[in-house]
Amino acid sequence: MNSSTNKSIFITGCSSGIGFLAATALQKRGYRVIASCRKERDKQKLEELGFEVVLLELDDPDSVQSAAHEVFRLTNGKLYALFNNAGFGLYGRLSTIGRQQLEAQFSSNFFGVHQLTQLLLPAIIANGEGRIIQTSSVVGIIATPGRGAYAASKYALEAWSDVLRLELANISNIKVCLIEPGPLHTQFSTNVNQTEKLNKVLNPPIAKRFALPPEAILPKLFHALESKSPKVRYRVTKLTQLAAIAKRLLPDKLMDRILQSK
């Protein structure tokens, strides 16, 4: 019997992209997948595919509270894993981004993740073991021009995950992991919110060269969920791996010159 059988996992952001792919693959793998999405039409689509679905708007604290309550009800208060995948990108020079826009970026990508995780943590603790996994980004490692707001939210998520891992290490059997995808062939880049319509932030050619299909995350996700000793960080693409090495080894001013070059 697959060790994943009957283990419940709540995945956020399942209407498309990584979330939809992960939900589909994990359901086939034997997990009980509870999927979340923001819109009623996406909820109906996911339900038609056999998922249990919870509506969730991470930008709305009441919605987060309601979703967590529903997950508790569906799982009888015992949850094996939470995959914090939902989020969006706000691209544009910092001078074009207002405070409310920045708050909205953090509300969905960071504050909502914190609230949801803390609300569901008792259910994971009650399960006796579990996993908390975050979708980060290559810009959670290196921040690039035009992606300051999005990068800042992912830097925050990375630091938060490190602290959560350390705080849980001696009081529970819960592992905390980050998945850092890098460039994937998904609709994320085309769906980002651009603050400058005439000066859009585009991926550099090197990103296309190293881009992988979204299925590349699945072996990393499976390992994070099922290994007795999961990694802290799963760097999916070569670009993400190279970025982490460069960040660690190269002087800041040299990194600046590389990141400012076209």
Which residue numbers are catalytic? 150
Return d(Cα 92, Cα 97) in angstroms, integer.
Answer: 7
| Cβ atoms < 10 Å from Cβ of 103 | 13
Structure tokens at 161: 């995950």
Q: What are phi and psi of 177, to 5 degrees?
A: -130, 155
Are 178 and 164 contacting, i.e. CB atoms less than 8 angstroms apart?
A: no
Among candidates 18, 261, 244, which has minimal Cα distance to 144? Answer: 261
Return d(Cα 129, Cα 175) in angstroms, integer.
Answer: 8
Question: What is residue 114's three-state secondary structure?
Answer: helix
Are 84 and 156 contacting, i.e. CB atoms less than 8 angstroms apart?
A: no
Are 125 and 174 contacting, i.e. CB atoms less than 8 angstroms apart?
A: yes
What burial class does residue 14 get, using C-beta atoms within 10 Å of its C-beta: 0-12 exposed, 13-18 middle, 19+ buried?
Answer: buried
Structure tokens at 30: 């034997």
What is the amino acid identity at position 207? A
What is the b/e burial string over 16-38, where b = at least 16 CB atoms within 10 angstroms of the residue's CB? ebbbbbbbbbbbebebbbbbbbb
